Structure 1
Amino acid sequence: MSGGRVVLVVEDDPVLGPALVQRLRLEGFRPRLATTGAEALREAAGLRPDAVLSDIRLPDMSGEEVFRRLLAEVGALPAFFMTAFGEVAQAIRLVRAGAQDYLTKPVDVDRLMAALRDALATASPTGGAPASELGVSPAMRAVEATLRKAARVDVPVVLTGETGVGKEVAARFLHAASPRAAHPFVAVNCAAIPRELAESTLFGHERGAFTGAVARGTGLAERAGEGTLLLDEIAELPAELQPKLLRLVQERRFLPVGAAAERPFAARIVCATHADLAERVRAGAFREDLLFRLNVISVTIPPLRRRQEDLEPLARRFVAEAAARFGLGPRRLTPAALASLADHDWPGNVRELRNRIERGVALAEGEDVGPGDLFPELSLDREDGPVPPSGTTLDAALGEAMRAAILDALRLSGGSRAGAAQRLGISRTTLWKRMRELGIGQEC
């Protein structure tokens, strides 16, 4: 039930705006219509709405500007944007910034009402959506709070966490929240730089400094300017470069290859790694003095399996981004798809989630993205699997398909539950739970 929640409609179309207001009243909401961005901001300041429905293009400002000012002045809340197809890129930026979703015109009002009810049902008790850009889970809210504090002071930051958790996303957030936001953000993966080019890549070189150096090369330290330099996989930095990085951090100066004089370094350094740097120091692979200089503020990004609250918001955001990038209309995850995401253990973390969502959006036949699109290995459309009899319920069919998939994985793994879980892309705990629910025991 809507419970009389206040919804601010920002729409200058003389037909669509009143029509939305009328439908919202019929649904039990308390709508308020604004036809300009300025009017919307005034209304929001007094109303404190529970949700916002806004056009992207308004007479006096963009819907994007309205949304960002609402975030600053009112706080986060569920926001839906209505857009023409040519404005989808702007709508994607809004979803990345925290908007709930976007819909292309002509708007499917039934779908909009359902999405609005779902958003309000999962919003915070005060009516607004959780005010976190990195995630809604307590763990990621704590990470965001730490990064916002770190953004105010100009010291190095080390981001740690498993592969794929979103360390670069956190680094970009730190940069955007800092006074350096208007300057470049430059990222380099230390593990991907050819060893013989590492020094030149990082610090640049003069013409003739080595064979093939036919022109002066600008290094990443210089390209970063007064912005942020992210050194990803810092644990893989070659040993011969570590003392030079130490000087960069300590003296704020660097020497390009073949240069006669040092140059000043003005950027902030952020490092990221999935490795244990202290263990690398003990093994003699990483300088202890460099670790001390870099590790002023350390932030650990938790794995996705430990922050289930972030799973659905991230998935919905990735669906919107993928649909726009592929030139498709809006797509949505079915309840069964969301359940399948919740069952997965996510060994690849957020990166794996994004990849599965992109594959699902690409493979889906229509607007709905189902579990078989996300996890083809568990698809109901198994050519060699049993065909459910006519009249079988969806739950029963899904149970039979899961049973067949588990038995098949166990057979291929020689009865090993660990091997079967790996084949199915789930944890052993999840496999054990499913086997118990489906009564799989002696037959495997």
Structure 2
Amino acid sequence: MSAPLILMVEDDATLGTSLQQRLELEGFRVRWARSAREARAALPGAHPAIILSDIRLPDGDGEAVMRSHFANFGLVPTIFMTAYGDIEQAVRLVRDGALDYVTKPFDLDQLVDRFRDIVRRATPQAIGAGTPLGRSAAMQPVVETLSRAARVALPVLLLGETGSGKEVAARHVHDSGPRSSAPFVPVNCGAMPAELADSMLFGHERGAFTGAAGTHRGLLEEAGEGTLFLDEIGDLPLPLQVKLLRVLETRAFRRLGAAEERGFHARLICATNRDLESMVAEGAFREDLWFRINVITCKLPPLRERPEDIADLMASFAEAAAKENGFPGVSIEPSAIEAALAHAWPGNVRELLNRVQRAVALGANGTLTAADLFPDGVDAGRRQASGGDDIDGSLSDIREAAERRHIVAALAKTGGSTKDAADLLQVSRTTLWEKMRRYGIDG
């Protein structure tokens, strides 16, 4: 499995070097940005699992980096490193969406344990096997395609924005098919260090290169007769594309330093948020490899295009988060659902998961409120939904959008019962059905 990526934003060379060495020894990958400018440049393509940032930087501060990233790409678990004098600002940042802060000097063992806990909670296994793919009209063709794909061994290519649920979809294909009892091995192609990529994928024999003190099974071998999931396949370097193509053509591979070939028996699922066809035309992606992986193609819609799924996903994530924290349960206020429906979700399902997990962990009284979900302010989330402008669209457009959100929230609260939702909204069922038809709401 590809190691989780931590974006570390720290200008102190001594502390940064120490943190990077320790975190890499613990199995994490670290991308080190030494300034706010470097962090802003790294974030769009890095997709970190965690951001660890100093508050004070030579060309700005970590707060501005965090807010810019949250606005454009959604919530990411962020921990700030702060000196004693900055604690007040750190506390405010936690209220506004950061996960936590540590005061220098801090206990590195405890920080590593915290990172492991964050990564564990963010995995699809932690979400729960019952996580819904979605019941919206936009998701139904996707679910049908994935269910049919699960019954055959053909390669699947999943397309969609970052955080749209491509790995969850891949696991659905794996779990729904005859290989469900075999391994599911996810690999982030864009996050493999170039100097280690061959060894990570194919494995190596003892003495194959300097530092190879023992035999190592690669990810292709670990997949066995299960599923190999190559995420961000568009980021795979051309030399590795050639090697992967040969594996798919011959169904065999060779460990580094080995004489004999081993059979490759896994099912292949790939995913990307990039336009592979354009990359083929530009020479950045091999056409023959594209033909090999582009057999069953499925495009996942972004969360903003399927608002009917938000309430179900929130309930599923909240239930799993409550169980993880040892809570008896958690209820979701209708205002939280309305606020979620008004949000643009730039980080898609992954952002929704992060926000719900944080809200459940830090909320009070076993109830998830709009303020818990959006500690940075509900109004900010609504401005994001309209492209950052306070005024966008006619009064009629705004009224209809609000009415649609209110109907979806009522249906979510009543478990999809149109009778109860009509009573709650104080309209007739005929009126409700007509508005549902008009707004494209799937009952």
Asked whether 1:244 is paired with 2:237, we answer no
Q: What is the rounded CA distance, in whole Å, between the counterparts of 1:141 and 1:161 in structure 2?
A: 16
C-alpha distance 433-149 of structure 1, shift in aligned 2 (>3 A):
same
Task: Structure 2 unaligned segments of length 5 or more: list them.
Answer: 1-120, 400-443
SS where residue 161 of structure 2 aligns?
Answer: coil
Q: What is the rounded CA distance, in whole Å, between the counterparts of 2:393 and 2:293 in structure 1?
A: 45
C-alpha distance 94-275 of structure 1, shift in aligned 2 (>3 A):
closer
Match of 1:199 in 2: 198
Q: What is the rounded CA distance, in whole Å, between the counterparts of 2:230 and 2:222 in structure 1?
A: 13
Match of 1:64 in 2: none
Q: What is the rounded CA distance, in whole Å, between the counterparts of 2:349 and 2:360 in structure 1?
A: 16
Asked whether 1:253 is paired with 2:252, we answer yes
Q: What is the rounded CA distance, in whole Å, between the counterparts of 2:273 and 2:127 in structure 1?
A: 28
Contact 1:340/1:371 (CA < 8 Å) preserved in 2?
yes
Q: What is the rounded CA distance, in whole Å, between the counterparts of 1:97 and 1:431 in structure 2?
A: 40
Match of 2:182 in 1: 183
Contact 2:127/2:317 (CA < 8 Å) preserved in 1?
no
Q: What is the rounded CA distance, in whole Å, between the counterparts of 2:354 and 2:394 in structure 1?
A: 27
Shift of 1:425: 3.6
Match of 1:340 in 2: 339
Q: What is the rounded CA distance, in whole Å, between the counterparts of 1:353 and 1:242 in structure 2?
A: 33
Contact 1:249/1:294 (CA < 8 Å) preserved in 2?
no
Aligned ranges for residues 39-118 of structure 1 at < 5 Å? Answer: 96-98=128-130
SS where residue 196 of structure 1 aligns?
Answer: coil
Shift of 1:430: 7.8
Contact 2:174/2:180 (CA < 8 Å) preserved in 1?
yes
Shift of 1:352: 0.6
1:428 alignment partner, one of 387, 400, 410: 387
Residue identity opposite 2:288 in structure 1: D
Residue identity opposite 1:318 in structure 2: F
Shift of 1:318: 0.7
Q: What is the rounded CA distance, in whole Å, between the counterparts of 2:302 and 2:339 in structure 1?
A: 18
Deviates more, 1:138-147 or 1:287-296: 138-147
Q: What is the rounded CA distance, in whole Å, between the counterparts of 2:127 and 2:266 in structure 1?
A: 29
Q: What is the rounded CA distance, in whole Å, between the counterparts of 2:289 and 2:255 in structure 1?
A: 20
Contact 2:251/2:263 (CA < 8 Å) preserved in 1?
yes
Aligned ranges for residues 159-170 of structure 1 at < 5 Å? Answer: 159-170=158-169
Shift of 1:259: 1.1
Contact 1:356/1:375 (CA < 8 Å) preserved in 2?
yes
**Bigger RCO of structures 1 and 2 (CA < 8 A, at least 6 apart):** 2
SS where residue 376 of structure 1 aligns?
Answer: coil
SS where residue 268 of structure 2 aligns?
Answer: strand
- Percentage identity across paired residues of the two chains: 51
Match of 1:147 in 2: 146
Shift of 1:183: 0.6
TM-score (norm 1): 0.58
C-alpha distance 284-156 of structure 1, shift in aligned 2 (>3 A):
same
Match of 2:303 in 1: 304
Contact 2:386/2:392 (CA < 8 Å) preserved in 1?
no
Residue identity opposite 2:226 in structure 1: G
Shift of 1:258: 1.1
Contact 1:343/1:430 (CA < 8 Å) preserved in 2?
no
C-alpha distance 178-374 of structure 1, shift in aligned 2 (>3 A):
same
Q: 1:160-197: per-residue Cα shift (whole Å, max 9, x none)? A: 10000000000000001111111110111011110011
Q: What is the rounded CA distance, in whole Å, between the counterparts of 2:355 and 2:319 in structure 1?
A: 13
Q: What is the rounded CA distance, in whole Å, between the counterparts of 2:130 and 2:264 in structure 1?
A: 34
Aligned ranges for residues 208-357 of structure 1 at < 5 Å? Answer: 208-357=207-356
SS where residue 229 of structure 2 aligns?
Answer: strand
Q: What is the rounded CA distance, in whole Å, between the counterparts of 1:369 and 1:290 in structure 2?
A: 46
Q: For the aligned residues, what is the CA RMSD?
A: 2.6
SS where residue 246 of structure 1 aligns?
Answer: helix
Task: Structure 1 unaligned segments of length 5 or more: list them.
Answer: 1-88, 100-132, 380-401, 406-420, 439-444
Q: 1:49-86: per-residue Cα shift (whole Å, max 9, x none)? A: xxxxxxxxxxxxxxxxxxxxxxxxxxxxxxxxxxxxxx
Deviates more, 1:168-177 or 1:142-151: 142-151
Contact 2:126/2:320 (CA < 8 Å) preserved in 1?
no
Shift of 1:246: 0.4
Shift of 1:429: 8.1
Shift of 1:432: 2.5
Contact 1:239/1:286 (CA < 8 Å) preserved in 2?
yes
Contact 1:319/1:358 (CA < 8 Å) preserved in 2?
yes
C-alpha distance 280-221 of structure 1, shift in aligned 2 (>3 A):
same
Residue identity opposite 1:267 in structure 2: A
Shift of 1:363: 2.3
SS where residue 194 of structure 1 aligns?
Answer: coil
Q: What is the rounded CA distance, in whole Å, between the counterparts of 2:258 and 2:125 in structure 1?
A: 42
C-alpha distance 95-273 of structure 1, shift in aligned 2 (>3 A):
closer
Contact 1:231/1:270 (CA < 8 Å) preserved in 2?
yes
